[in-house]
Amino acid sequence: MSLQLPSEIVVERFLPTVRAMLAAELNERGLTQQEIADELGVSQAAVSQYVRGDVTVEQRFAEDERLRSAVDRIAAGLATDSMDSYEALGELLAVIRAFEDRGPICAVHEEEMPELAGMGCDLCVRGVDDTVEQERSALAAVRRSARQLANTPGIAELIPNVGTNIGTAIPGATDETDVAAVPGRLQTVGSRVLVPADPEFGASKRVASTILAAMSIEPDLRGAINLATVDAVLDAARELGYEPMVFDAAYENRESRLREAFRQRGSVPRVIYHEGAFGIEPITYVFGETATEATARLLELQEQIDS
């Protein structure tokens, strides 16, 4: 793991880029290299390098309109003595704050620390808090489960034509944006299961609504995976004591209908299924406390089928 603070990116990439851009702008406005050096707080030799373009700049910063506008304002102000260093610094700090909040500094930070992918800005902007940790845990559970399915022989046979998705909700989830899933679903190519992207929140309406319905009765039941409805899976569920519950395949009001079915039953079956309808492929859902547990239950069903 490469442990890097966002402040290092500011020093090592943002600052050289800004200085190079300002040096070029001030040079065009007729300031001497020594005058530019005095304004920027660097040596005349450094300004010479900036003006010649001998310094590596971060293009994502240099091409961002927010920074370009700030540099234009600062250069104009410094060249005409209408802006002092305090005001110039304020302009740049505003750009840094913007860049650190899901902006290009965040993008560079996540490249340097892949462990931050999808969560780096939350950590920097909001700090370490319970919500961030819950979101990170949900994403990790889906990621692990997707990887496990992709590496398990025979799983492709249980993937429906429309693809499979896996979801984990954060505690207290209220809508689909609180449920992490895989954008585009897991798909099969021959006997292989392909994971098209890293998990995101709000990536699966169907799995999310099913999980939310389950959570309305059992709040800790926050994970689910869908698969094709086949007799072998349903038989295996019964043999393992997971009596499957059938429900209507129609999409309209599905979440509220499932909530009512679970409420009448007084609990959530660990396996539920529908038999399809016009334009709707038959689908089975397997529940768990997170995606990890739901996937473990699916693999238990697969093992029972193969035994």
Q: Quick count: other Cβ atoms within 10 Å of Cβ 24?
A: 17
Please report the pLDDT score of residue 97 as a whole number: 87
**Fold adopted by 141-306:** L-fuculose-1-phosphate Aldolase (3.40.225)
More confident: 111 or 121: 111
Q: What does each C-alpha distance from 220 to 110, 139, 185, 211, 223 come to in angstroms?
A: 31, 16, 24, 10, 9
Please report the pLDDT score of residue 121 as a whole number: 58
Q: Residue 59 pLDDT > 60, yes or no?
A: yes
More confident: 63 or 113: 63
The domain ranges of the chain are 6-124, 141-306
- Kindly report, residue by residue over 71-85, the tens digit of the pLDDT: 999 999 999 999 888
Please report the pLDDT score of residue 108 as a whole number: 85
pLDDT band of 148, cuts 50, 70, 90: very high
% residues pLDDT > 70 (the chain): 94
pTM above 0.85, yes or no: no
Please report the pLDDT score of residue 86 as a whole number: 86
d(CA 189, CA 217): 37
Q: What does each C-alpha distance from 262 to 52, 169, 255, 256, 265 come to in angstroms?
A: 70, 18, 11, 10, 5
Query: Angle at Cα 167 formed by Cα 166 and Cα 170, nearest 5°?
Result: 160
Q: Give 180's strand partners.
A: 168, 201
CA-derived radius of gyration, the chain: 27
Strands 179-181, 187-189: pairing is unpaired
Task: Assess contact for 236 and 301: CB atoms under 8 A.
Answer: yes
